[in-house]
Structure formats: C-alpha cells, structure tokens
A and B are shown apart, each in its own frame.
Chain A
Amino acid sequence: MASRTDTGPVAPRADLLQYLSDTALDADYARVTAARGAPVTSTARRRGIGPALGVLLAFGMLVALAAVQTRSGASEAERESEALRAQIDDGRADFAALTGLSNVLQQQVADLQGTAETASQNDADLLADLGRFRTLTGAAAVSGPGVRVVADDAERTKPGGEGAVLDTDLQVLVNGLWQAGAEAIAINGNRISPLSAIRGAGFAITVNYRSLSPPYAVQAVGDSATLEARFVDTPGGQAWLDLETNFGLRFDMDTVESLSLPAAPAARLRVLYAERQGELP
C-alpha cells in the first residue's frame, strides 16, 4: 500500500485491469507530496480546505442534478408510455367499433343482394308473363308449328251463293281451332286478337275490319301432332265436315312445322274502359 503511493508513475503493464487498479489513486498526490518532502500536517490540510470545499459543493450539486434529471426523464418516459397505452386502447376500441360496423354493413349488403336477386327474379317473371300475354293477345308476332287450313267456296258458286263460305263458317272454324288447342290464329294474315270480329259485310267477310276474299287461309299455331285430330272431334270440325259433304265447300288442312303469324293491328289491342282489378304480381 505505502509502497504504491511513494513510487513514481507506474509503468504500463500488460494486464490492463491490474494497471487500472494500481493507478487508481492519482499519481499527482504522491508526486506533490514527494516534492513537498513530507506528508502534510493537519494544519496544512486545513489551509487547503477552501477550494476542496467548493469542489465538493459542486460535486453535491452535480449528483443532485443528475438524480433530478434522471427521475424527471423517467417520469417523462412513464407519461409517454401511459399516453401510448391510452392510444393503443383507443385504437383497439376503434378497431372493435369498426369491426362491428363492418359486420353490420356486410349483413346489409347480404340483405340487399337477396332483395336484388328477388327483384331481378320478379323482373324475369314479369317479363315472362308479358311475353306470354303479348303472344296470347296477338300483340306480338309469333312463329311455331301448327296447321294451315285453306277453306274456299264450292266450285261454280257466285259470291253470296249457296256454296259460299260465310262469316259464321269461319267463326265456327276459328272456334274449333281454339278448342283443339291453337294458341294463335290468323286468317289471310290477319291475326285474331281478343277484340277481333269475324263478320260478313255484304258479300265479303272482314276480319279486323279488313275485307277478305276467298280462298281463306287460316293459320293456327299449336301442337302440330294433335291439332288436326282434335279439330275433327270439335263441333267446328263436325260443322265443316257437313259443309264439305252437303254444300261442296272446299276444306284442306295441312300440318306445318313452322308458321309465322303477324301481330294484330294496334287498334285491335286498345283498352279504353276495362280497368284491371288487383295488384300486379
């Protein structure tokens, strides 16, 4: 111990830790003491207490400052982490709220999609109905299999004579075709609509207010396999059999794979007074 203090500067050593602990005491203390010649007395020490006191004062302040600063820094870090934690909580709450909202909206989207599908299904149904009604009323031109009937006056018959085709004969023919299952009928290219009348005007027969002249070509769309056979069994068919045999009227029925019937005139589809009852589907 004493030997370490009264030697001069310690020579550097390979062992750094040993060197550090050997030179722990500032070598200047030993050098100054050696220069003075003898260890200082207590009186000499007291003389030097002024500057040392100042330094110790400064040291105390330094320690206090560092402690205060470290503590304020720590509390600041604490505040910051508190604020961050609050932000995390807020973010979680927001996330939960948004997730709930997203679920609600997804449910709404699913509901609306269901509604839209129902609506488009309704639209499709309405369009199908419309097409069917336009076909049935004669508002739309149609094509399909069926029969073609050619009815003509008996040979050597004057207009209005015994062997002429009358308006009632054509009415019976058309009724028989309806009965046999026809879905659309036209006479000489005049489509029969619900408002069409077949009547005689003078010696001519008019359909849809158009005068026709023989031969009368009646086209009926329906089941081509059964239409002809079923027509023969109807009263219309029987009536025409009589006309053929008794008055010599000419009657010819052929099955046709593809018929094209025009639409009825718009005037025959006008509705002025009838009002529909009930809602549309």
Chain B
Amino acid sequence: MIPVLGLVAGVVAGLLLQPTVPVPLQPYLPIAVVAALDAVFGALRAYLDGIFDDKVFVISFVSNVVIAALIVYLGDQLGVGGQLSTGVIVVLGIRIFSNVAAIRRHVFHA
C-alpha cells in the first residue's frame, strides 16, 4: 500500500511542480520512462515471488534508466537513434510483458 502511495505522490508532485527537463535530455525522457517501467514491474514480480530486495530494485531502476538513455544517446550520435530506441523499446517491452504475465499468474493463480 505504501509503495502505491509513493507512486501516486510522485505523479501528483510531477503534475503540480512540473519541473522543467533540460532541453538536451528531453528526447530521452520517454525511453527512460519505459526502462523505469521495466524495473518497476520486475520489482513487483520479485515482491510477489517473495525475493524482493530494495537494493537490487534501486540499482536496477537507476541502471535501467541510465543505460537505456545512454544507448539511445549513442544511437543519436551515430545517426541510428530511431532504430536503437526501437530496439530498446522492443526488448524492454518483451521483458515487461513477461513480468506482467508472471504477476498475473500470482494474482489470479492462473
């Protein structure tokens, strides 16, 4: 319950404060969100599996976001930013789907 409250508080804070993202970082915000989504669903699945660890969650979250943004940044510098962000989103999307499927099995026992 408390983590959900934290999530809601974060969304509200983001909507209310609307801190400005530096313009050079703006293109990487969506990819960072997808990477963070992957980390969050992974954590939720680990929690339901009973093997959640906060340190692993924090590290996986930060590294996911940073690495995804870095890969896309590198792609932009090489002129293949669009293709690389597509690749990153495909990989992260498959991981998210797998994790959500596992979570579903935990929740519905099916």
Q: Which residues of A contact B (CB under 8 A)?
A: 1-2, 5, 17, 20-26, 28-30, 32-33, 39-40, 45, 47-66, 68-70
Contacts and interface: CB of A to CB of B under 8 A. Distances in A.
B14 A52 contact: no
A51 B98 contact: no
B56 A29 contact: yes
Contacts of B45: 24-25
Q: Which of A30, A59, A68 has the most CB of B within 10 A?
A: A59
Given A25-B102, A56-B7, A59-B40, A68 B18 contact: yes
B36 A57 contact: no
A59 to B, nearest CB: 5
B24 interface: no
B85 interface: no
Q: Looking at chain B, what size class is its interface with the partner chain?
A: 35 or more
Q: Which of A2, A26, A58 has the most CB of B within 10 A?
A: A26
B9 A40 contact: no
B11 to A, nearest CB: 4
A29 to B, nearest CB: 4
A260 to B, nearest CB: 94
A29 B29 contact: no
B46 A20 contact: no
A14 B90 CA distance: 18
Interface in B18-67: 18-19, 21, 26, 29-30, 32-33, 36-37, 39-40, 42-43, 45-47, 49-62, 65
Nearest to A22: B98
Contacts of B29: 62, 65-66, 69
Nearest to B40: A59
Contacts, number: 160
Contact of A39 (B19, B50, B57, B94): B50
Contact of A29 (B37, B49, B96): B49
Given A24-B94, A52-B58, A65-B21, 7 more contacts: A20-B91, A29-B52, A40-B51, A60-B10, A60-B12, A64-B15, A69-B29
Q: Which of A17, A50, A55 has the most CB of B within 10 A?
A: A55
Contacts of B91: 20
B55 A32 contact: yes
A29 B51 contact: yes
A64 B9 CA distance: 11
B10 A33 contact: no
Contacts of A59: 7, 10, 36-37, 40, 61
Q: Which of B11, B14, B32, B99 has the most CB of A within 10 A?
A: B14
Contacts of A17: 94
Nearest to B90: A20
13 contacts: A20-B91, A25-B102, A28-B53, A28-B60, A29-B52, A40-B53, A53-B2, A57-B7, A62-B10, A65-B14, A68-B18, A69-B26, A69-B29
A68 B62 CA distance: 22
A61 B8 CA distance: 9
Smallest CB-CB A-B distances: 9 pairs: A60-B10, A64-B14, A48-B54, A24-B98, A61-B14, A21-B98, A57-B10, A33-B51, A60-B11
